[in-house]
Amino acid sequence: MKETILKIENISKQYRLGLVGTGTLSHDLNRFWHRVRGKEDPYLKVGAVNKRSAKAKEDYVWALQDINFEVQKGEVLGIIGKNGAGKSTLLKILSRVTSPTTGSIKTKGRIASLLEVGTGFHPELTGKENIYLNGAILGMTKAEISAKIDEIIEFSGCEMYIDTPVKRYSSGMRVRLAFAVAAHLEPDILVVDEVLAVGDAEFQKKAIGKMQDISRGEGRTVLFVSHSMAAVKSLCTRAIVLEHGSNVFEGDTDEAVDFYLQSNKVKELILLKNRKDRSGNGKALLSNVEILNSKNEVVESVISGEFLRIKLHFSINDKIEDNLIFAISIKDNNDIIKSMIVSDEMNIDINSLISRGYIIVDFNSFLMRGGVYNATVLLSGYSTASLNHIDRIEMAFDINVLQGDFYDSGKLNRTYPLAIIPAKIN
């Protein structure tokens, strides 16, 4: 039977915008005066929705508003959202660093967080002493640390320096030591913010492996916050999506990720009608582009290795010749071509597609590594020599690719503007 281990009820958090100044004091006094008379806080009624880019009109903002969800024991819950959506605030409240303005959180287990590693390291103490101190700060008892000290030292890979003051450590070694301590925490509920990107490649692999052990093997309840959709997909069993401080979606991980990518969408199409930096005779013009997912919904990003559909709309201004060629080249930000599609290699009758008004390009598996690419679109006559160009737009649109796990290994493919090649190593 499933058991609820964590229950979040109506959590809201209000912050003041701007500086602490004289206005603060008068607000504080007013608030105090209301409380003395047994009335509720007058400033709880005001407060803007947490929209980073909107202009601040009020003095207060709701970083979180009426968050409700429950976490079952053994569940790995992903929390996704854009920068400033309230993820960190939620984690801070969960880890009791700050308290909510309203609402309550009930828990049946101890919560420990990997918000930031290396908290409370004292530079004058040796590595070993710092393991004890840091472990205790994170909530371990001395006996618990002693039982694991060898494991921690081995995991950190800093055995040689363990009796040297931490101030002599390189920054990488410090992070290794800190992560080693944090990774050996054994709370009932573990809160993980994106801390995995630490150390060198070798250590990162170790760290990610450890995270997977914790969340998969040991059956721990984990709250996982990440911007990496692939990591969320591979680690989490369920996910919630935060937007402007509200919980806008809760459910299955795949659906949540889809929802998130969609909620990120640029509401309009990518308009190319008015682009002036184009070349060609203009008999047909690329007017706009849609980037779609497998459900034909507009998305902002695609996960590496997943389905991607690009729909290009054309407007025809003049009679055009036969045997058209259509091409898309995918470039990285340094203007280096990383891949391309040319219709004449595929024996496609572009003319009939153009006359219908749009061309659809489907990638069943978009095999590019994580990163931002841009696409150059070309429509031309029977040869691609520049005098035959009908319409050509450099950097017509961006393709935002999120890291994926193409080889199904549980590890994310590195971010680098390159294609992924299906391969097998024996």
Partner 1 sequence: MKASKDSEWLYTISSKRKLIDFNFKEIWRYRDLLVLFVKRDITTVYKQTVLGPLWFFIQPLFTSVIFTLVFNNIASISTGEIPPFLFNLTGITAWNYFKVCLTGTSNTFRGNAGVFGKVYFPRVIMPLSVVISNLVKFGIQLLILLVFYVYYLSQGFSISPNSHILMFPVYILMMAFLGLGIGMIISALTTKYRDLTMLVSFAVSLLMYVSAVPFPMSEIQEKQPQYAWLLEYNPVAQIIEGFRFMILDAGVFTWLGFIYALVFTIIAFLFGLIIFNKTEKTFIDTV
| CB of 99 vs partner 1, minimal distance in Å | 4
Residue 126 C-beta: closest distance to partner 1, Å:
10
Q: Which is nearer to partner 1, 98 or 364 (CB)?
A: 98
Give the chain's length: 426
Q: Minimum CB separation from partner 1 for residue 142, in Å?
A: 4
Nearer Cβ to partner 1 (88/263): 88
CB 388 within 8 A of CB 382: yes
Phi-psi region of 244 (alpha: psi -120 to 50; beta: other; left: phi over 0): left
Q: Between 123 and 282, whose beta carbon lies closer to partner 1? A: 123
Q: Which residues bind partner 1 (CB under 8 A)?
A: 1-4, 7, 15, 20, 24-25, 28, 92-110, 113, 115-116, 119-120, 122, 124-125, 129, 132-133, 136-139, 141-142, 165
Give the shortest CB-224-to-partner 1 separation in angstroms.
18
- CB-nearer residue toward partner 1: 30 or 386: 30
User: How wide is the angle at C-alpha 408 spanned by C-alphas 189 and 304, nearest 5°?
Assistant: 95
Q: How far apart are CA 223 and CA 78, in angstroms?
A: 6
Asked if 115 and 95 count as a contact pair (C-beta separation under 8 A), the reply is yes
Between 15 and 363, CB nearer to partner 1:
15
**In the complex, what is the shortest distance from the CB of residue 172 to partner 1, in angstroms, rounded to a whole number?**
20
Element housing 28 (H / E): helix 22-36
Whole-number minimum distance, CB 100 to partner 1, in Å? 5
E strand residue ranges, 334-381: 337-342, 358-363, 371-380
16/371 Cα distance (integer angstroms): 36
Q: How far is CA 143 from CA 118, 132, 147, 296, in A?
A: 20, 10, 6, 56
Residue closer to partner 1 by CB (options 41, 297) is 41
User: What ranges in 228-349 are assigned the alpha helix state H?
Assistant: 229-235, 253-263
